[in-house]
Amino acid sequence: MKIKDKILIIEDEASISSFIATVLAANNYDTMIAHTGSEAITMITSHCPDLILLDLGLPDMDGSSILKFVREWSTCPIIVVSARNHERDKVEALDAGADDYIVKPFGTSELLARIRTAIRHTRTHLPNGDIAQSGQFKAMGLTIDYDKHQVLVDGENVHLTQNEYKLVSLLGKYAGRVLTYDFIIRQLWGPKAKSDNQILRVNMANIRRKIEKNPAEPKYIFTEIGVGYRMVDPD
């Protein structure tokens, strides 16, 4: 029998944690519930869950401190579940190491999809986090050829500039995850680059015109407004 993935739900509202637990159990996950931050930390260290659903508003501590605590020693996927919908909160959580961010209220199908994606990423990406060094990234018609430093759409080279290629290959390396503007800028132009994301946006607008058929209906690179960009999952 298949070993079930273990998911820790850190959420102080009993009604929410119980409905999430029910849905997850019905979809073949093992679930644990922690109602406070300290309880959560004990459970994380003793049970080593496969994925953590973290509510940022906890009674005894700020959820983001749990995020930082876990990230000091583990790459366990963490999905932040929060009622805070400001871009700043999302950026903060993602920069602190969260894998994804879901805003309440959410549908169960959305939650399940995000969980599947996050678990798949840890399984496929972490052992070779530097696939961007060589090989190819393929998603539908898009191919990133890391050896030749080329990006092809339906087999055609789209002739990206150096910066545009760097940007696309970075997104390809972390495909499926939202990369924040600041993260991208640091990766592309170094830690001292000023965090003005206008250049980044102009680059992205140009890339979109080269690789997408209709820039308003992107198939490959998606924008999380005010937060960052995400490359579609590879095939």
Partner 1 sequence: MSYHISACRQGEEGSVTQLPFKFRTSYQRILRDWLITAGLLALGTALSWLLMLVDPSGGFVSMIFVLMVTLTARLTNGFIYGVTASFVSVICVNYIFTYPYWEFNFTIAGYPLTFLTMLSVSVIVSTLTTQIKRQEQLRAETERETMRANLLRAVSHDLRTPLTSIMGSASAILENDAVLTPQQRMSLLRNVRSEAQWLIRMVENLLSITRMGDTEARISKELEAAEEVLASVAAKFQQRFPDIRLVLSAPEDPLFVPMDAILVEQVLMNLMENAAYHGHSTCIHLTAERQGEDAVFTVRDNGSGIAPELLPNIFSPTIHSQSHTSDKRRNMGIGLSVCRSIVKAHGGIMSAANAADGGAIFCFTLPLETLNTEDTINEDQG
User: Which residues would be at the binding site for partner 1 (CB under 8 A)?
Assistant: 62, 64-65, 68-69, 72, 85, 87-88, 91-92, 105, 110, 161, 163, 198-199, 201-206, 208-209, 214-218, 222-226
Q: How far apart are CA 124 and CA 195, in angstroms?
A: 31
Q: How far is the CB of 111 from partner 1 (least distance, A)?
A: 13
Q: How far is the CB of 70 from partner 1 (least distance, A)?
A: 10
**Is the bond into 234 cis (omega within 30 degrees of 0)?**
no
Q: How far is the CB of 225 from partner 1 (least distance, A)?
A: 4
Written as one string, the DSSP assignment of the chain is -PPPEEEEEE-S-HHHHHHHHHHHHHTTEEEEEE-SHHHHHHHHHHH--SEEEEESB-SSSBHHHHHHHHHTT----EEEEES---HHHHHHHHHTT-SEEEESS--HHHHHHHHHHHHHHHHHHGGGTTGGGSSEEEETTEEEETTTTEEEETTEE----HHHHHHHHHHHHTTTSEEEHHHHHHHHH-TTS---THHHHHHHHHHHHHH-SSTTS-SSEEEETTTEEEEPPP-
Between residues 62 and 128, which has the closer beta carbon with respect to partner 1? 62
Between residues 72 and 235, which has the closer beta carbon with respect to partner 1? 72
Between residues 124 and 223, which has the closer beta carbon with respect to partner 1? 223
Q: How far is the CB of 216 from partner 1 (least distance, A)?
A: 4
Between residues 28 and 198, which has the closer beta carbon with respect to partner 1? 198
Between residues 60 and 156, which has the closer beta carbon with respect to partner 1? 60
Q: How far is the CB of 108 from partner 1 (least distance, A)?
A: 11
Between residues 53 and 207, which has the closer beta carbon with respect to partner 1? 207
Q: How far is the CB of 92 from partner 1 (least distance, A)?
A: 5
